[in-house]
Amino acid sequence: MKLILLHFLAAATASAFVLSPQQTWTKLILTHHWPTTFCGMEKCHTKIDSWTLHGLWANNGNDCNATWHFNVTLIEDLLPDMEKSWPDLLNPESTKFWKYEWYKHGTCAAKAESLNSQHKYFSKALELYHKMDLDSVLKKFDINPSKQYYPFGHIQDLVDGFYGAKLKLQCVHPPESADYQILGQIEICFTPDFSLMDCERETREKPVNSSVKAQAKPGFSVCDPEVPVYYPPTM
Ligand SMILES: *[C@@H]1O[C@H](CO)[C@@H](O)[C@H](O)[C@H]1NC(C)=O
Ligand SMILES: *[C@@H]1O[C@H](CO)[C@@H](O)[C@H](O)[C@H]1NC(C)=O
Ligand SMILES: *[C@@H]1O[C@H](CO)[C@@H](O)[C@H](O)[C@H]1NC(C)=O
């Protein structure tokens, strides 16, 4: 009995150490996308040939506070960097994308004191994005957009080895019975104190036959380790 109580106390202390009373998330996900793949999916046009920010997501909750309105004035000093590092690929002149990300993810991330203002949230995302410098890391390992395919494991092993944590690589799976998948999104995960941690990678989905694939909604899902990866050059 004593032993059980001790275990219970230890567990309670450990979680109190990680979570402040307000905070309900345990992981942050810094999501990058490859503009050419995104635009292939969404039918936009882009000339951007670097990995850009998609968002900084807390692992628990969406749309946590609808009354906490997005106000671009609060991040005015960040705008030059936002436009470059976190562009809205669908509406390049608008702030819609940032507003969407704030309501959906920022208001949840903001439950932690370290991210409890719009300025803190957006500047931390930019800071992590620059610190991780995914674009240079891929180039450094000679993983460049190319007409040739990469073995999936080659890319995964190099980035995991470099960061010392497991990244989540996501692909678009062409609907036809293609022999490749298109690299589109890369997630890097952090603890609440912004240390790198492993991203979870759900187990591989069962291979689906082409008639099932054709009905699937296009979108990103975890890359299939057995299918060659196409990293499309920017037109
Ligand atoms: C939601 O945001 C508003 C505006 O910042 C704030 O006053 C309010 O306390 C927040 N509500 C919750 C539940 O956090
Ligand atoms: C946006 O923030 C600025 C700076 O704090 C403030 O002056 C302005 O009233 C806010 N706008 C809205 C619509 O809340
Ligand atoms: C593919 O899946 C569909 C729907 O489940 C099925 O009707 C069809 O026979 C399957 N085709 C092959 C080649 O397995």
DSSP character string of 188-203: EEE-TTS-EEPPP-PP
What's the CA-to-centroid distance between 70 and ligand 2, angstroms?
9
Is residue 164 situated within a structural domain? yes
What's the CA-to-centroid distance between 29 and ligand 2, angstroms?
29
Is residue 202 situated within a structural domain? yes
Is residue 213 situated within a structural domain? yes
pTM for the structure as a whole = 0.82
Is residue 9 situated within a structural domain? no
Domain that holds residue 233: 24-235
Residue of the CA atom closest to atom 14 of ligand 1:
65
What are the distances in angstroms from CA 51 to CA 63, 127, 226? 26, 15, 24
Half-sphere exposure of 195 (CA within 13 A, CB side): 4
DSSP β-bridge partners for residue 1: none
Our answer on whether the CB atom of 71 is closer than 6 Å to any ligand 2 atom is yes
Are 196 and 189 spatial neighbours (Cβ–Cβ below 8 Å)? yes
The residue written with tokens 């952090």 in the block is: 190
How confident is the model over 91-97, as a mean pLDDT?
93
Phi/psi region, residue 43 (left: phi>0; alpha: psi -120 to 50; beta: rest), is: left
Instruction: Please state the atom number of ligand 2 nearest to the C-alpha of residue 72.
Output: 1
Is residue 63 situated within a structural domain? yes
Residue of the CA atom closest to atom 12 of ligand 3:
209
Is residue 167 situated within a structural domain? yes
Tens of pLDDT, residue by residue over 174-217, are 876 789 999 999 999 999 999 999 998 654 444 554 555 444 45
Q: Nearest 5 degrees, angle CA 34-CA 153-CA 197? A: 70
Is residue 6 situated within a structural domain? no
Question: Is 105 one of the annotated active-site residues of the chain?
Answer: yes
Number of Cβ within 10 Å of residue 38's Cβ equals 20
Q: Say which CATH number the domain at 151 has.
A: 3.90.730.10
Tens of pLDDT, residue by residue over 1-24, are 444 444 444 444 444 444 455 558
Is residue 10 situated within a structural domain? no
Our answer on whether the CB atom of 212 is closer than 6 Å to any ligand 3 atom is yes
Structural domain total, the chain = 1
